[in-house]
A and B are shown apart, each in its own frame.
Chain A
C-alpha cells in the first residue's frame, strides 16, 4: 500500500512589533504577518501617544500655544515653534525684526542637526549596533547643541523660545563664540563618523536596495523631507517656498538616487553639512537691533485663516490656523511630516525581512509625538 505524503502546510503568523518594543521609536505598533522571516502584511497602528494637541490649542491663547508645539516633534522643538509662529505672523501680518529672523534660522538649523544626529544614531541602533556605540557618539555632539540651546533659552528640550513677533530673549553673550567653535568642530565629527560607517560593508549590505521608495510613489504619498529627497526629488521648502531669510542663504539640497534606506541615511548626513553652511552664513550676517516686536500678552489675531509651512528636519511641517478674532485659535491643524511619511510604510515593508522592517522604519525617522499629536 502506497502512502500518500501529506503536503507540507505552512501558515503565516502574526507578530506584534510594538507598542513596547526596543526599536519602534516610541509607542508605534506594527502588526506584522510573517511567512517565516518574510513580511507578508503590515498594519501600522498608532494613537498611543494621542494627547489631543489640536483641540487643546483651541482652548489656549495664541501665545500659550507655542508651548504645545514644543511637544510635537520633541527632538526639534525649535522648528515646531517656528512653524506655528510663522502661521500666526502670516495671519496677523506681524513684521519680524531682522535680528530675530537670523536667530530663528540659527535655532532651526541647529535643531535640524540635532534631530538628524538622533535620527541617524537611532537608525544605526536599529540596524543592530547593539551596544549603542554610534548612538552615543551622536549624543555627544547633540549634547553640544543642547548646551547652546540651554544657554540661550534655559531649556534643553521644550524651549518655548521662538515667539510671535520674534524670539523670547536675545542671544546671550558668549553664544556666538561657542557656536563658532561648534561650527569648527562639527565637520570633523561628521567626517569621522563617515569614516566609521559610511562604507562599512555590513551597513551597505543592510541598507542598499532595502526599503526602496520610488520618486513617483513618494510624491503620490506626499512624503516630504529627507525621505523624499532620498528618492531623488529635489524638493526643499527652504528653497521651493522660502520663508524667513532662507532666500538669502546659499546651500545645496542633497538628494539620493535610488530612494533606499542608504540614500536616506546619506541625505541626512549631507544635510547636516549643509546646515553648518547655513549656520556659518547666518552667524556672519547676524545684524544688531531688536530681537522682538512687542506683542501683548492678550494677543488677538484678526479673523481669518492662514497656512504656513517650513522644512522641519522630518519634512514639511505646516500649521493651518483659523481665527475668529478671539484670544485663541478657532481651528488649529497640524500637518505633521512624520505622520504623512508613515503612509508609505506598508508599501515599503511588504516583501522584506523582519530585520529590514526595523531599519526601514528607522530610516523614515518618525517621532511619535508628532504622529499622534
Chain B
C-alpha cells in the first residue's frame, strides 16, 4: 500500500493500527473518535472564524483580523477568554440540571458525526443511518429546555418554550423530506445514499432540498428562525444565565450542530465524497464549508420571524409541501421503477412551479390576540 492510499482513505491507517494491536473493536472506536476530534475541533474554530469574517465582509468591514494572520487565531483567543471567565450559576436555579444542560447540548450534535460517511470506508456503515441522525439530532432540544428551566429566569423559560414548539414543528417537514430521499434511494444508509447519487439529489429532488434546508435552518435556530435566542426580544433565550465555559459549550454545540447539518446536506444532496477523484474526503469537507458559507450569508441578511408566523410557516407551508413532495417522488418511483438521472430535467421545473404556486397561496397569518386591556385604576 502506497502512501497515497493512506491519504485517500484514512480508514486504511485505522486498519493498519488495528492489525498491529490485534483487531480489537475498541481500537477502531478510539481511532474513530480521535479522527472525529481531529476534524471537529479545527473545523469548529474555522467555522466561527468564517462566520465572523463573512459577517464582516457583508457589512463592509474587515471582520476579525487582529489575533494571528487574518485573525485566524480569534476563536482561540475567544476560547481563552471564555475559559478564564467566572462561571456563575443562578442561586435559585436547579443546580444539577443547570450544569448538565450544556454538556447534554453538545453531545447529540457530536453524535451525528458518527454516521456521516467521509468516504466509502471512512464511515460506520449504519443500515439505519438516516434514522439514527434524526433521532439523535432531535435530542438537542431536551438540553435547551433543561437549560431554560434550570436557569430560573423568565427570558430563559420563554426561550425554552419557543425552542420546544419550534423544534417539534420543524421536525416533521424535516423527516418527511428525508423520507422522499429514502423512497428514491431505497436505503436508510447514508453510504448507499451517497453511492446512489450519480446525479446529486439537489438536482434530482430540488423540492426536497428546499424543505430540508429550511427545516434544518429552523432546527439550527439560525436567523430567520432564531426565535429561541432572539437577542432583541428575550435577551439570549435559554442561555441568558450561562456564562464562562458553560455558555461556550452551548455556543460550540450550536456550531457543531451547524457543521453536522452542513455535513448532512453535503452528504444527502451534494453527493458526499463524490466526484471520487483526488482525496475523496476533502471533497466532502469543501462541500460542508460551502454549505456553511451559504448559511452564514442567510444569517447575515435576514430579519427574524415572529413565533406564531414561524409555526404557521412550518404547518401551513412546509408541511403540506413535504407531503406533496413525497407524493410526487412516490409516483415517480412507482411509475419508473427507480429514479433515473434524467428526472432532474422534469423535477426542477416541477419544483419551481409548485414552490411558486404554494408561495402565492401562502400568507403569514396575522394572529390578532384578544385585546383584553385591563383598566388602570
Return the chain B residue nearest A21 by Cβ.
B235
- CB of B303 within 8 A of CB of A353, answer no
Interface residues of A, count at CB 8 A? 46
Can you name the residue of chain A whose Cβ is closest to the Cβ of B52?
A: A131
Chain B residues contacting A356 (CB-CB under 8 Å) are: 306
Does residue B307 face the partner (Cβ distance < 8 Å to A)? yes
- A22 interface residue (CB < 8 Å to B): yes
Question: Which residues of B are found within 8 Å of A357, using beta-carbon distances?
Answer: 233
The answer for the CA separation of A125 and B223 in the assembled complex, in Å, is 12
A 129-140 to B, binary, CB cutoff 8 A, 1 in contact else 0: 111110011001
| Nearest chain B residue, comparing its CB with the CB of A134 | B303
List A contacts of B59 (CB < 8 A): 131-133, 136-137
CA A80 to CA B235, docked complex, whole Å: 33
| B19 interface residue per 8 A CB criterion | no
| Complex alpha-carbon distance, A347 and B373, angstroms | 8
User: For the complex, would chain A's binding face be called helix, strand, loop or mixed by DSSP majority?
Assistant: mixed
Given contacts A125-B232, A205-B309, whether A38 and B369 have CB atoms under 8 Å apart is yes
Residue of A14, A36, A202, A353 touching B224 (CB-CB under 8 A): A202
Please choose the segment from B22-30, B128-136, B255-263, B294-302 that sits at the chain A interface, where 4 or more of its residues have CB less than 8 A away.
Answer: B294-302
Q: How far is the CA of A358 from the CA of B304 in the complex (A)?
A: 12
Q: Does B21 lie at the interface of the complex (its beta carbon under 8 Å from any beta carbon of A)?
A: no
Q: Which of B282-310 contact A (CB under 8 A)?
A: 299-309
With A21-B235, A201-B364 in contact, is A351–B370 under 8 Å at CB? yes
B55 and A133 form a contact (CB under 8 A): yes
A202–B305 touching, CB < 8 Å: yes
> A157-215: which residues lie under 8 A (CB-CB) from chain B?
197, 200-206, 208-209
Is B110 part of the binding interface, using a Cβ–Cβ cutoff of 8 Å? no
**Any chain A CB within 8 A of the CB of B61?**
yes
**A127 in the interface (beta carbon within 8 A):** yes
Distance in Å: Cβ of A258 to nearest Cβ of chain B: 12
**A128 interface neighbour in B61, B154, B155, B230, Cβ under 8 Å:** B230
Q: Could you tell me which residues of chain B, from 351 to 369, have a CB within 8 Å of some CB in chain A?
A: 364, 366, 368-369
Report if A133-B58 is in contact (Cβ < 8 Å); known contacts: A15-B155, A350-B373, A354-B158. yes
A81 CB within 8 Å of chain B? no
B234 touches A (CB below 8 Å):
yes
Interface contact B230-A13, CB-CB below 8 Å: no
Residues A23 and B369 in contact, CB atoms below 8 Å apart: no
Indicate whether B374 reaches chain A with its CB closer than 8 angstroms. Answer: yes
B92 in contact (CB, < 8 A) = no
* Minimum CB–CB distance for A11 against chain B, Å: 13
**Contact mask A330-373 → B, CB, 8 Å, 1/0?**
00000000000000001100111111111000000000000000
**Interface residue? A324 (CB, 8 A):** no
Taking CB atoms, residues of chain B closer than 8 Å to A208 are 366
Say whether A41 faces chain B, with CB atoms less than 8 Å apart. Answer: yes
Q: CB of A113 within 8 A of chain B?
A: no
Alpha-carbon separation in the docked complex, A205 to B223 (Å): 15
**Interface positions of B (Cβ within 8 A of A):** 55, 58-61, 154-155, 158, 161-162, 223-224, 226-227, 230-235, 299-309, 364, 366, 368-374
Report which A residues bind B (CB closer than 8 A).
13-15, 21-23, 34, 36-38, 40-41, 124-133, 136-137, 140, 197, 200-206, 208-209, 346-347, 350-358
List 18 additional contacts besides A21-B235, A133-B59; criterion CB under 8 Å.
A22-B231, A23-B231, A36-B161, A38-B369, A125-B232, A128-B224, A128-B233, A128-B304, A130-B304, A131-B300, A133-B301, A200-B303, A202-B302, A350-B372, A351-B369, A353-B369, A354-B233, A355-B307
- Can you list 25 A-B contacts with CB-CB less than 8 angstroms, sorted by A residue number? A37-B162, A37-B308, A38-B369, A128-B223, A128-B224, A128-B226, A128-B230, A131-B59, A131-B300, A132-B59, A136-B60, A136-B61, A137-B60, A200-B302, A201-B364, A202-B224, A202-B304, A206-B305, A206-B306, A206-B309, A347-B373, A351-B371, A351-B372, A354-B158, A355-B233
